[in-house]
Chains A and B, each alone.
Chain A
Amino acid sequence: MPEVKLVNVSKRYGRIKANDGINLTIKDKEYVSVIGPSGCGKTTLIRNIAGIIHPDEGEIFIDEESVSNVPIEDRRIGYVFQNIALFPHMNIWDNITYGPHVRGLPQQQTRPLALEMLDMIKIAARSEAYPHELSGGTQQKTAVARALISDARLLLLDEPLGALDVKVRTELRYELRRLVKDLRLTALHVTHDQEEAMSISDRVVVMKKGRIVEAGTPVSLYTRPQHTFTANFVGEANFLKGIVVETTADTSVVDIGSGVQLRANRGKETVDERVIVVFRPEFAVLDKPIEVNRLSGKVMDVLYSGSIIRVMIKLPNDETIAAKRIASFDKPMYDVSESVTISVSPDNVLVYPYPEEGLKKALALE
Chain B
Amino acid sequence: MGFGSKRTVSLSSFIIWCTLAAFFVLVLLPTFYLISYVFLRWPEVNREVFANPIIGDENWNQILKVLFFTFRLSLSATLFDLLFGIPLAYVLARKKFPGKSLVEDVVTLPLVIPTSGFGFATLVTWTTASGIGGVFGSSSGAISLDTLIPFINVQALLFIVHVALTFPYVVRTVETKIQSIDPTFETASRTLGASSFTTFRKVLVPLMIPGVFSGAVLAFARSLGETGATIIVSGVSSTASIAIVRWTAEFKLATASFMGSLLVIIAAAIILPVEVYLRRGKRTLRFSSHFPVSLSRQLLRLERFTSGKLARIKDFAPLIVVVVTVIVPIIVVLNSVILFWPADPYTGKLEGGVFYQLFGPANYFNHLLQATLTSIVVALISTYISMCVAIPLAFIIERRWYGSFIRSILKVPMIIPTSSLGLSVLLMWGSSGINLLSTGIWLIILTHIVFSVPVIVESIIPAYEGSDIQTYEDSARTLGATEYNATEKVSIPLVKGGIITGFILSFTRSLGETGATFVVMGRNVTVPALVVNMVEALAIPAALFTSTFLILLALIMLGLIRVATRRR
Binding site for B on A (CB under 8 A): 50, 52, 71-75, 77-79, 81, 83, 85, 87-90, 98-99, 102-104, 106-107, 143, 146-147, 150
- Distance in angstroms between the alpha carbons of A52 and B187 in the assembled complex: 7
- Distance in angstroms between the alpha carbons of A85 and B189 in the assembled complex: 9
Further pairs besides A73-B191, A87-B188: 13, Cβ < 8 Å: A71-B190, A73-B190, A79-B191, A81-B187, A87-B185, A87-B203, A89-B207, A89-B284, A89-B286, A98-B194, A104-B297, A146-B192, A147-B191
The answer to whether B193 and A103 touch across the interface, beta carbons within 8 angstroms, is yes
- Count of inter-chain pairs, beta carbons less than 8 A: 73
List, in ascending order, chain B residues with CB within 8 A of A79's CB. Answer: 187-188, 191
Which 6 pairs from chain A and chain B are nearest by CB? A102-B194, A79-B191, A99-B192, A72-B190, A89-B284, A85-B188
Can you report 28 A-B residue pairs in the complex whose CB atoms are below 8 A from each other?
A: A52-B190, A71-B308, A73-B191, A73-B192, A73-B193, A73-B194, A77-B191, A78-B191, A81-B184, A81-B188, A83-B182, A85-B184, A87-B203, A88-B283, A88-B284, A89-B206, A89-B207, A89-B284, A89-B286, A90-B286, A98-B202, A99-B193, A102-B192, A103-B193, A103-B300, A104-B300, A104-B301, A150-B193
List, in ascending order, chain B residues with CB within 8 A of A72's CB. Answer: 187, 190-191
Of all chain A residues, which has the CB nearest B190? A72
Question: How many B residues touch the partner, as a band?
Answer: 20 to 34
- Distance in angstroms between the alpha carbons of A104 and B203 in the assembled complex: 16
List, in ascending order, chain A residues with CB within 8 A of B191's CB. Answer: 50, 52, 72-73, 75, 77-79, 147
- Distance in angstroms between the alpha carbons of A50 and B297 in the assembled complex: 25
Of A74, A98, A147, A150, the most chain B CB neighbours within 10 A belong to A98
Of B191, B207, B285, the most chain A CB neighbours within 10 A belong to B191
Please tell me if B313 contacts chain A, counting CB pairs below 8 Å.
Answer: no
List, in ascending order, chain B residues with CB within 8 A of A106's CB. Answer: 293
CB B187 to nearest CB in A, in angstroms, measures: 6
Please tell me if B198 contacts chain A, counting CB pairs below 8 Å.
Answer: yes
- Distance in angstroms between the alpha carbons of A143 and B191 in the assembled complex: 12
Of B190, B203, B297, B300, the most chain A CB neighbours within 10 A belong to B190
Evaluate whether A85 and B194 lie within 8 angstroms (CB atoms) in the complex, with A71-B308, A102-B202, A102-B300 already known: no
- Distance in angstroms between the alpha carbons of A89 and B201 in the assembled complex: 13
Of all chain A residues, which has the CB nearest B286? A89
List, in ascending order, chain A residues with CB within 8 A of B190's CB. Answer: 52, 71-73
Of all chain B residues, which has the CB nearest A74? B193
- Distance in angstroms between the alpha carbons of A90 and B189 in the assembled complex: 12
The answer to whether B195 and A73 touch across the interface, beta carbons within 8 angstroms, is yes
Of B187, B188, B203, B207, the most chain A CB neighbours within 10 A belong to B188
Evaluate whether A147 and B297 lie within 8 angstroms (CB atoms) in the complex, with A79-B187, A85-B185, A88-B207 already known: no
List, in ascending order, chain A residues with CB within 8 A of B297's CB. Answer: 104
List, in ascending order, chain A residues with CB within 8 A of B185's CB. Answer: 85, 87
- Distance in angstroms between the alpha carbons of A102 and B301 in the assembled complex: 9
Task: Name B154-200 residues within 8 Å CB distance of A.
Answer: 182, 184-185, 187-195, 198
- Distance in angstroms between the alpha carbons of A85 and B188 in the assembled complex: 7
The answer to whether B293 and A83 touch across the interface, beta carbons within 8 angstroms, is no
List, in ascending order, chain A residues with CB within 8 A of B284's CB. Answer: 88-89
Of A81, A90, A102, the most chain B CB neighbours within 10 A belong to A102
CB B252 to nearest CB in A, in angstroms, measures: 51
List, in ascending order, chain A residues with CB within 8 A of B301's CB. Answer: 104
List, in ascending order, chain A residues with CB within 8 A of B188's CB. Answer: 79, 81, 85, 87, 143
- Distance in angstroms between the alpha carbons of A83 and B184 in the assembled complex: 8
Of all chain B residues, which has the CB nearest A106? B293
List, in ascending order, chain B residues with CB within 8 A of A89's CB. Answer: 206-207, 284-286
Evaluate whether A147 and B192 lie within 8 angstroms (CB atoms) in the complex, with A83-B182, A89-B207, A102-B198 already known: yes
CB B399 to nearest CB in A, in angstroms, measures: 29
The 0/1 profile, CB within 8 Å of A marked 1, for residues 322-337 of chain B is: 0000000000000000
Evaluate whether A98 and B192 lie within 8 angstroms (CB atoms) in the complex, with A71-B308, A104-B300 already known: yes
List, in ascending order, chain B residues with CB within 8 A of A75's CB. Answer: 191
- Distance in angstroms between the alpha carbons of A103 and B285 in the assembled complex: 23
CB B266 to nearest CB in A, in angstroms, measures: 32
The answer to whether B182 and A102 touch across the interface, beta carbons within 8 angstroms, is no
List, in ascending order, chain A residues with CB within 8 A of B285's CB. Answer: 89
Evaluate whether A102 and B193 lie within 8 angstroms (CB atoms) in the complex, with A83-B184, A85-B182, A85-B185 already known: yes
Of all chain A residues, which has the CB nearest B192? A99
CB A295 to nearest CB in B, in angstroms, measures: 49
Of all chain B residues, which has the CB nearest A82? B184
- Distance in angstroms between the alpha carbons of A250 and B182 in the assembled complex: 57
- Distance in angstroms between the alpha carbons of A72 and B203 in the assembled complex: 16
List, in ascending order, chain B residues with CB within 8 A of A87's CB. Answer: 185, 188-189, 203
CB B297 to nearest CB in A, in angstroms, measures: 5
Of all chain A residues, which has the CB nearest B205? A89
- Distance in angstroms between the alpha carbons of A134 and B187 in the assembled complex: 22
Of all chain B residues, which has the CB nearest A86? B188
- Distance in angstroms between the alpha carbons of A180 and B293 in the assembled complex: 33
- Distance in angstroms between the alpha carbons of A107 and B198 in the assembled complex: 18
- Distance in angstroms between the alpha carbons of A107 and B301 in the assembled complex: 16
List, in ascending order, chain A residues with CB within 8 A of B192's CB. Answer: 73, 98-99, 102, 146-147, 150
List, in ascending order, chain B residues with CB within 8 A of A99's CB. Answer: 192-193
Task: Name B268-320 residues within 8 Å CB distance of A.
Answer: 283-286, 293, 297, 300-301, 308
CB A105 to nearest CB in B, in angstroms, measures: 9
- Distance in angstroms between the alpha carbons of A74 and B191 in the assembled complex: 8
CB B311 to nearest CB in A, in angstroms, measures: 11
Of all chain A residues, which has the CB nearest B186? A85
List, in ascending order, chain B residues with CB within 8 A of A143's CB. Answer: 188
List, in ascending order, chain B residues with CB within 8 A of A147's CB. Answer: 191-192
- Distance in angstroms between the alpha carbons of A85 and B190 in the assembled complex: 12
CB A74 to nearest CB in B, in angstroms, measures: 8
Of all chain B residues, which has the CB nearest A91? B286
Of all chain A residues, which has the CB nearest B300? A104
- Distance in angstroms between the alpha carbons of A75 and B194 in the assembled complex: 11
- Distance in angstroms between the alpha carbons of A224 and B192 in the assembled complex: 40
Task: Name B359-386 residues within 8 Å CB distance of A.
Answer: none
CB B562 to nearest CB in A, in angstroms, measures: 23
